[in-house]
């Protein structure tokens, strides 16, 4: 078997009889159970018996040449934001611990089951998905694999999802992305994270943060892993168009916003990637994208996340405010200060932003920038609320630019060397261009991530 398996290599191994689903699931469970590992913090629930039973069923179907897909039997993790029949969706909170169990699977969970994936468990997350750093005071914070002994954050909000993949506790993971919650953890842990055009994947059965921005994405060890999962979750055919030769590709690097307060290591890794791509003949233009300058003003009062999360949480807060993570609560409560006129203003401002930005970047094969401006900070550095707030905004900023223009985006690892700090390179396109983005990202991956 491949030492660092992808979904494609695992599918080949299963088809050739080099492994079984049972073996894959048992190996993942062993990693989860390792007392020296991150399993207890990465997962809030493990579906041990169901996973083993499903694995045995998929092995039997494969013996009969009746496997529902090439990926049948591969263990995958699900963020604790999705309904799974018979389980409570806690969203990383204590507030919902006694909520009724879901009576049906979320649409994406049902589609993953239909493809034969094995649901290994529910992954930990920032409470109610409302932070880019990954801290959870209720269930613990899983740590980035980089300098783990130093205690660095995994990125959020899909923190456990990313760690489940980096630590071999699952071979892919499902997360959500409202302002970077798939891409930030991918960048902070050295894997691939994808955010689709928001309308591409149905949100049914997913607890909302901000429905205007929420999207459902994935984590994997390659672009192809995320592409395969996206095809299953979206119901779109897995078909990639032929891309132009590398010397015909043209990327835009924003000359504004994206590099403000960037860490030196991030800037250096990004410029190295730019050189490698340029050496392959890709044209890279550094251009101003004025629409990006408008995002901070639109979000000055908390934007969609504050307004829409407060609408969902306000009655729960009245009953159980003391059970919330205080740092999440204060952000939700910003929505109480927005007026109806404020909200209608940001709706209109975003509509114009999407139209203007989409027109500006449409001529490029991708917009390219660092996924996150900073390296993953140590948990100990975040004890001060002001420092937490500063670093949280920096972690979210670049990714949020793409959510606000309703684009699609993917983060690729570009750190070189076993001990190098994790850095993500983000490629983005305007909405609806997901297939094109996957094709471009596959070509870029072969240059910058190898």
Residue 95 lies in a domain: yes
Tokens of 229: 């999962």
Rounded average pLDDT over 76-86: 98
Q: Is 384 exposed, middle or buried (0-12, 13-18, 19+ CB in 10 A)?
A: exposed
138 in a structural domain:
yes
- Whether residue 92 lies inside any domain: the answer is yes
Residue 257 CB partners (closer than 8 Å, separation 6+): 289, 292, 293, 295, 397, 398, 401
User: pTM value?
Assistant: 0.98
C-alpha distance from residue 314 to each of 179, 209, 257, 339 (Å) = 21, 13, 33, 15
Residues annotated as part of the active site: 79, 157, 181
Low-confidence winner among 21-25, 40-44, 237-241, 286-290 (lowest mean pLDDT) = 237-241
Nearest to 330 by CA among 350, 347, 305, 294: 305
Residue 372 has pLDDT above 60, yes or no: yes
Range of the domain at 80: 1-292+354-450
Angle (nearest 5°) at CA 420 between 417 and 421: 150
Number of domains the chain contains: 1
Kindly state whether residue 26 falls inside one of the protein's structural domains: yes
Q: Which two structure tokens, joined as six digits, stand for 448? A: 């910058």
CATH number at residue 176: 3.90.1300.10
111 in any annotated domain: yes
The average pLDDT across 432-443 equals 95
pLDDT digits (tens, 9 = 90+) for 36-69: 999 999 999 999 999 999 999 999 999 999 999 9
Confidence of residue 244 (pLDDT cuts 50, 70, 90): confident
Residue 346 lies in a domain: no
Of all residues in the chain, what percent carry a pLDDT higher than 90? 95
pLDDT at 3: 60
Residue 36 belongs to some domain of the structure: yes
Q: Report pLDDT digits (tens) over 306-359.
A: 999 999 999 999 999 999 999 999 999 999 999 999 999 999 999 999 999 999
326 located within any domain = no
């Amino acid at each position: 078997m491949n030492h660092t398996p992808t979904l494609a290599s695992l599918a080949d191994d299963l088809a050739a009889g080099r492994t079984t689903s049972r073996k894959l699931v048992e190996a993942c469970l062993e990693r989860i159970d390792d007392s020296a590992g991150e399993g207890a913090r990465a997962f809030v629930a493990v579906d041990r018996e169901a996973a083993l039973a499903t694995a045995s069923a998929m092995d039997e179907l494969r013996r009969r040449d009746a496997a529902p897909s090439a990926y049948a039997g591969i263990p995958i993790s699900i963020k604790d934001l999705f309904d799974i029949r018979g389980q409570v969706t806690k969203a990383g909170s204590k507030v919902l611990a006694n909520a009724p169990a879901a009576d049906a699977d979320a649409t994406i969970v049902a589609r993953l089951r239909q493809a034969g994936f094995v649901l290994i468990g529910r992954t930990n997350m920032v409470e109610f998905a409302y932070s880019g750093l990954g801290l959870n005071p209720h269930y613990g914070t899983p740590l980035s694999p980089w300098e783990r002994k130093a205690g660095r954050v995994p990125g959020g909000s899909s923190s456990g999802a990313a760690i489940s993949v980096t630590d071999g506790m699952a071979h892919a993971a499902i997360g959500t992305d409202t302002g970077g919650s798939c891409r930030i953890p991918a960048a902070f842990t050295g894997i691939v994270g994808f955010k689709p055009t928001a309308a591409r994947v149905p949100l049914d059965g997913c607890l909302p943060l901000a429905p205007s921005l929420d999207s459902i994405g994935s984590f994997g060890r390659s672009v192809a892993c995320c592409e395969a999962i996206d095809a299953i979750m979206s119901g779109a055919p897995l078909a990639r168009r032929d891309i132009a030769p590398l010397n015909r590709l043209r990327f835009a690097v924003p000359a504004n916003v994206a590099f403000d307060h960037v860490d030196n290591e991030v800037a250096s890794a990004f410029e190295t990637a730019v050189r490698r791509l340029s050496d392959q003949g890709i044209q890279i233009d550094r251009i101003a994208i004025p629409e990006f300058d408008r995002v901070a003003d639109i979000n000055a009062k908390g934007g969609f996340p504050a307004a829409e999360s407060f609408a969902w949480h306000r009655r729960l807060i009245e009953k159980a405010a003391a059970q919330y993570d205080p740092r999440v609560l204060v952000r939700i409560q910003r929505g109480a200060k927005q007026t109806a006129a404020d909200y209608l203003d940001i709706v209109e401002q975003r509509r114009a932003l999407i139209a203007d930005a989409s027109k500006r970047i449409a001529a490029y094969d991708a917009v390219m920038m660092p996924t996150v401006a900073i390296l993953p900070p140590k948990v100990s550095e975040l004890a001060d609320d002001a420092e937490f707030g500063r670093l949280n905004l920096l972690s979210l900023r670049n990714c949020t630019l793409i959510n606000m223009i309703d684009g699609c985006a993917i983060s690729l690892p570009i750190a070189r060397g076993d001990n190098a700090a994790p850095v993500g390179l983000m490629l983005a396109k305007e909405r609806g261009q997901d297939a094109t983005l996957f094709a471009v990202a596959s070509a870029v991956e072969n240059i910058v991530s190898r």
